[in-house]
Chains A and B, each alone.
Chain A
Amino acid sequence: DGGITQSPKYLFRKEGQNVTLSCEQNLNHDAMYWYRQDPGQGLRLIYYSQIVNDFQKGDIAEGYSVSREKKESFPLTVTSAQKNPTAFYLCASSIGGRVTDTQYFGPGTRLTVL
């Protein structure tokens, strides 16, 4: 069964701690993306990667970091520099980075910082 997995589904952390969210896909997609979703604001792009070992900042990259060492994995680290990290985080992938390539989304991770 091909798809995108995100773990964990719910994550709680203390303020000031870094936390890493997992995103794995077995669709053999080249491009992967991280979005943040806040109530009433839709989704905002944090980072995206079109090939292994390369990634680009999105609209709200401050306080976040990513790596793309393997094609199937695109972990997101929420650092202590992110001022308001509590949100729903969505990972997506597409076969390539073209407009015609549909993005497929994972089930999301809800991060709560206490």
Chain B
Amino acid sequence: AQSVTQLDSQVPVFEEAPVELRCNYSSSVSVYLFWYVQYPNQGLQLLLKYLSGSTLVKGINGFEAEFNKSQTSFHLRKPSVHISDTAEYFCAVIMDNYGQNFVFGPGTRLSVLP
């Protein structure tokens, strides 16, 4: 069965420090990968997505992610975080070409400390 793992449920980091949020997936077929951010009591907002092409994907708010097929990973990075980046981050995978049947990871709560 397909699955998405986010190894860190919580990541505390000081302001202006770099951060990496990890995402691994299990699949034997081609995948499409996404990172979403959720601020408290709000819906999800797309940060970035990998569909094909360059494995380094740049998204909004200074985030980027790198697709590594051999390691089945899609880790999210930001070189310098702000207080406003405090939120929950979800990695998601689509493994069908028909429809958009996402498989979401359990989420990582990023807390940026002053």
Contacts and interface: CB of A to CB of B under 8 A. Distances in A.
Contact of B105 (A42, A99, A102): A42
B99 A97 contact: yes
Contacts of B4: 42
B90 A100 contact: no
Interface stretch (A13-21, A61-69, A79-87, A103-111): A103-111
Interface stretch (B14-22, B44-52, B61-69, B79-87): B44-52
Contacts of A74: none
Contacts of B107: 40, 42
Interface in B29-83: 32, 36, 41-46, 49, 51
Given A107-B42, A107-B43, A31 B104 contact: no
Contacts of A44: 104
Given A99-B51, A103-B46, A107-B42, A41 B100 contact: no
B27 interface: no
Given A99-B32, A107-B42, A108-B43, A43 B99 contact: no
Given A43-B104, A99-B32, A100-B51, A90 B99 contact: no
A4 to B, nearest CB: 8
A6 B46 CA distance: 18
A58 interface: yes
B66 to A, nearest CB: 19
- By size class, the interface of chain A is 20 to 34
Contact of A108 (B9, B36, B41, B90): B41
A99 B97 CA distance: 7
A105 B100 contact: no
A56 B99 contact: yes
Given A40-B106, A102-B46, A102-B49, A33 B100 contact: yes
A70 B111 CA distance: 41
Given A6-B43, A100-B51, A105-B45, 8 more contacts: A40-B107, A44-B104, A45-B102, A59-B101, A97-B98, A99-B96, A105-B43, A108-B41
Interface of B: 4, 9, 32, 36, 41-46, 49, 51, 90, 92, 94, 96-102, 104-107
